[in-house]
Amino acid sequence: MSKKGAKTTTVHRIRELSRTRKSANEIVRQTRREGIGIRRKTILTYIRGFRGKAPKKDVYKYIPRKYRIRERRIPFEHEVKQKHVSVYGKQKGINKRYEISGTGHEIMDFLRDAVFHPPRRRIARIRANRISDRKEVDYGKVWDSRPKIES
């Protein structure tokens, strides 16, 4: 019980000192004079917490490589960016358009068909990775040649 009480008093005292304009080194000296037994490292963490200071970045670079503790490497999950591409034109005077979304390779694969053949609907929203969305392409028909489109 006594230990626990001592800890609370030290923390309380450090909080009081950190509210003043004293520097961290001055606070450490003050605690030693008062006979409070606490490590410098822990005092500094307390002071940072009370004053709302962010911890220093990239602390690991100050430690030599042979003493560094290696963290377990997490397998890197590759974030694939989604692209959105629209292809539009006319088929027998009717405006038609694809709105394709997916990764670059998937869209590239789909565009090979979309550039030559119009969709069955007026607006076809397609996910390029879905095989079922290939049914939207009307392979029997082709786009009008050189139409005047107002986008």
Binding site for another protein (CB under 8 A): 81, 83-89, 97, 99, 104, 107-108, 111-116, 123, 139, 142-149, 151
Q: In the bound complex, what is the minimum distance in angstroms from residue 133's beta carbon to another protein?
A: 16
Of 63 and 142, which has the nearer Cβ to another protein? 142
The residue to which tokens 């003493």 are assigned: 67
Of 28 and 97, which has the nearer Cβ to another protein? 97
Of 18 and 103, which has the nearer Cβ to another protein? 103
Burial label, 76 (beta-carbon count in 10 A; 0-12, 13-18, 19+): exposed
Task: Tell me how far CA of residue 4 lies from CA of 7, 8, 9, 114, in angstroms.
Answer: 5, 6, 9, 74
Of 14 and 114, which has the nearer Cβ to another protein? 114
Cα separation, 91 vs 139, whole angstroms: 13
Q: Which of 108, 51, 55, 119 is nearest to 85 (CA)?
A: 108
Q: Which of 139, 52, 43, 149 is nearest to 93 (CA)?
A: 149
Cα separation, 107 vs 113, whole angstroms: 10
Q: In the bound complex, what is the minimum distance in angstroms from residue 90's beta carbon to another protein?
A: 8
Q: In the bound complex, what is the minimum distance in angstroms from residue 132's beta carbon to another protein?
A: 19
Q: In the bound complex, what is the minimum distance in angstroms from residue 130's beta carbon to another protein?
A: 18
